[in-house]
Amino acid sequence: MNSNLRKKGLTDAQVGVLLILPGLAVFCAIILYPFVNAILMSFTDRSLLMPNYKVVGLENYIKVFSDPYFGKTLITTILFVIGSTLLPFTLGFIWAIILNQGFKGSELLRGITLVNWIIPGTAIGFLWSWIFNGQYGILNAILTRTGLLETGVAWLGQTNTALICVIIARSWQMLPWYMAFLLGGLGGVPLDQVEAARVDGANNLQVFRYVVLPSMKTIILLILVLGTIGNLQHFDLPWTMTQGGPARATTTLSIDVYTTAFDNWNIGKAATIGTIWAVLLGLFSFVYLKQVKDSD
């Protein structure tokens, strides 16, 4: 088609523009326009209850940054992101190394492991809510019947345990995703280097540290970037398990945006929090992607 267009007198640049135009239009319609619109809304007092709204300048930003609970939300978000990225990453790596040994049944185990990732987030949320339920949860049943606890604990009703419970549920959901990527990465580790290291007397830990990790640096950074971004955006599990409670202990930025927009009907303020959230997301992405680029 390119040669046909060139024969009709179009330059390479003009052909290029024509080719990217549909994609650019889709990008503008479904990403750029809503994004710019959200930023513009953050400077208004737009509410779902009123069709009319006015520009209020930086008022929403001042309100958000002067709200002492917003700082707590930021900290909760960061804790959730760190926990929900590093825990499944670590467990996924261990599991990938085990499955990479190629023992009988490892392929079946790999398939079974992926089931967690296929289940919808809300279903996982309800599943773990039942496990952690303070009244009829299976965790309390096990701990009290084995004598480890005298009485049941409201795991999702305590500020010091609720976030951990949500992180555990998220880790369970995402472990297969990390495992799949890391298993692929492990397959690419040069075996001759591993054997050479062993000949030189390296033990398992040294092989892992000095051969496997450097070989997988790019893929590790990539999945950590993607995992961080995914967890920064994540909404389903904290919402279905705790709705951000108790006492805001699991209120992340995604939940704050949702409740501000659809409980308080304050679209302007929700857009403000969303914009701050997007900036944070952009910063994380930039830093990590720069590292990936540098490592190449």
Partner 1 sequence: MKKRLVAVTMAAAMSAALLAGCGSSGTQTQENGAAETSAQASGNGEEAAGETAASGGENIVWAGWSGEEEASRDIFQRMMQTYRDETGNDVTWVGWTWADTAQQLLIRSQGGEQLDIAQVDIGIFNTVQQAGLLADLNEVLGEDYMKETFQQSTLDVGNVDGKQYGFPWSMASISMVYNPEILAEAGWEEVPTTLEEFEQCLADIKAMDPEIIPYAVSTKDDTCAGDFMPWLWTFGGSLYGEDGSVTVDSPEAVECVKWYQDMLGKGYIAMDVGRGDARQLFAQGKVAFYDDAVLAKGQAVSNGVAPEDVVNVCQAMLRPVKNEGDTPQSTMWGHMLVIFNSSEHKEAAAELAKTLVSDDVALEYFEENGMPPVTNSAAELDEVKNDPYLSTFSASTATARLEETARMTNASEIKSIITEELQYALLGQKTAEEAVAEMGSRMNSAQ
Which residues are near partner 1 by CB under 8 A?
Answer: 5, 8-10, 18, 21-22, 24-26, 28-30, 33, 48-51, 133-136, 151, 154-159, 243, 245-248, 259, 262-266
Q: Which is nearer to partner 1, 26 or 98 (CB)?
A: 26
Q: Which is nearer to partner 1, 17 or 196 (CB)?
A: 17
Q: Which is nearer to partner 1, 95 or 258 (CB)?
A: 258
Minimum distance of partner 1 from residue 245's CB (angstroms): 6
C-alpha span between 221 and 195 (Å, rounded): 25
| Residues pairing with 44 in the sheet | 55
- Beta strand spans in 29-139 (E): none
C-alpha span between 60 and 54 (Å, rounded): 12
Minimum distance of partner 1 from residue 75's CB (angstroms): 15
Q: Is the dihedral of CA 41, 44, 46, 51 positive or negative?
A: negative
Q: Which is nearer to partner 1, 50 or 119 (CB)?
A: 50
C-alpha span between 131 and 155 (Å, rounded): 9
Query: At 50, is the secondary structure helix, strand, or coil?
Result: strand
Q: Which is nearer to partner 1, 28 or 213 (CB)?
A: 28
Minimum distance of partner 1 from residue 80's CB (angstroms): 18
Minimum distance of partner 1 from residue 114's CB (angstroms): 30
Minimum distance of partner 1 from residue 32's CB (angstroms): 10
**Count of beta carbons in the 10 Å neighbourhood of residue 200:** 10
Q: Are 219 and 189 in contact (CB under 8 A)?
A: no
C-alpha span between 193 and 206 (Å, rounded): 12
C-alpha span between 102 and 110 (Å, rounded): 11
Q: Which is nearer to partner 1, 87 or 267 (CB)?
A: 267
Minimum distance of partner 1 from residue 251's CB (angstroms): 9
Q: Could you please report the per-residue DSSP string of 135-182?
A: TT-HHHHHHHHTTS-SS---GGGSHHHHHHHHHHHHHHHHHHHHHHHH
C-alpha span between 185 and 96 (Å, rounded): 9
Q: Which is nearer to partner 1, 198 or 248 (CB)?
A: 248
Minimum distance of partner 1 from residue 242's CB (angstroms): 8
Closest-CA residue to 278 (of 39, 66, 95): 39
Minimum distance of partner 1 from residue 249's CB (angstroms): 9
Q: Which is nearer to partner 1, 21 or 82 (CB)?
A: 21
